[in-house]
Structure 1
């Protein structure tokens, strides 16, 4: 119980990498500080994704 299975560590790493990559690419397409968002995207799940959606995606939709 004290140790985390290597399978879980690998799955968590994959989820964080995919999330960070997706946020980076989307922010680069929108021109909104891609390195900042991408690096923050690999630090946790799902908070960076939710904040990115609220700050960047939703605000851009309101302007259109």
Structure 2
């Protein structure tokens, strides 16, 4: 294994680990299943992060609509 391959592997590891930590912490803060998102974040990048941000936006929109109906 060349030094370039080792460096690329380390960079990929850092990206996956940081993505997983972000997903875990943010999912806990927003009431999602943090373990599921953390483990999914370790599998590949960046698809789990993009999917999580879309799901988070949809859930927030639904909650905002629910609170709008409670005002009446």
TM-score range, shorter chain: 0.7 to 0.9
* Structure number, greater radius of gyration: 2
Structure 2: runs of 5 or more not aligned: 65-72
Partner of 2:23: 23
Which whole-Å CA distance do the structure 2 matches of 1:59 and 1:28 have between them? 17
4+ long deviations beyond 2 Å: none
SS in 1 for 2:45: coil
Number of residues of Structure 1 aligned to a counterpart in Structure 2: 62
Please report how far the alpha carbon of residue 61 of structure 1 lies from its aligned counterpart in structure 2 after TM superposition: 2.8
More helix by percentage: 2
Partner of 2:57: 58
Please report how far the alpha carbon of residue 60 of structure 1 lies from its aligned counterpart in structure 2 after TM superposition: 3.0
Please report how far the alpha carbon of residue 31 of structure 1 lies from its aligned counterpart in structure 2 after TM superposition: 1.5
Partner of 2:69: none
Normalised by the size of structure 1, how large is the TM-score? Answer: 0.86
Backbone CA RMSD of aligned residues: 1.7
